[in-house]
Amino acid sequence: MKAVIQRVSEASVTIDGNKVADIQKGLLVLVGVEDTSNQEDINWLSSKIVNLRVFGDENGVMNLSVKDIDGDVIVVSQFTLHASTKKGNRPSYIKASKPDIAIPVYEKFVAQMESDMGKKIQTGEFGADMKVALINDGPVTIIIDTKNKE
């Protein structure tokens, strides 16, 4: 699994003109699933994101997590995170899981995030054409690949 985590002062997801997710201070998480993604990856990635210290403390030092600040989270599925650009100019998405594998993993990841956060996680809609709006705070953007967890 790969994730792009962005610290935001606000973010939203709109599908067909309808806003389906809307947060203020928190994290926007774009997540991509591979066929090798498993429950261990889900647990590790969720815990890593929830406890990632990217919010400023009273001294302005990035020392607090989204959970510490009682922030909100939007999780959006994004298969393009697994794009290969080695050959040519058209990305290949062969490493990205097909929906029959990716949807259950994505749903388990969202459920694990909710468990780790102790609150509801907002989401986009798997496979939908989404318009994601955000104000990246900092900017702070972190990329995590579960293949690099060791």
Let me know if 8 is exposed, middle or buried by CB neighbors in 10 A (0-12, 13-18, 19+): buried
**80 labelled catalytic:** yes
* Annotated catalytic residue, options 6, 55, 78, 146: 78
What residue type is assigned to position 52 of the chain? L
* Annotated catalytic residue, options 6, 79, 122, 123: 79
Give the C-alpha separation, 109 to 15, whole Å: 21
* Annotated catalytic residue, options 24, 36, 39, 80: 80
**Beta bridge pairs of residue 92:** 84
What residue type is assigned to position 112 of the chain? Q
**146 labelled catalytic:** no
- The H or E element that residue 29 is part of is strand 26-32
Q: Determine contact, residues 15/125, Cβ cutoff 8 Å.
A: yes
Give the C-alpha separation, 99 to 50, whole Å: 25
**55 labelled catalytic:** no
Look at the block and give the residue holding tokens 């907002």.
122
Active site residues: 78-80
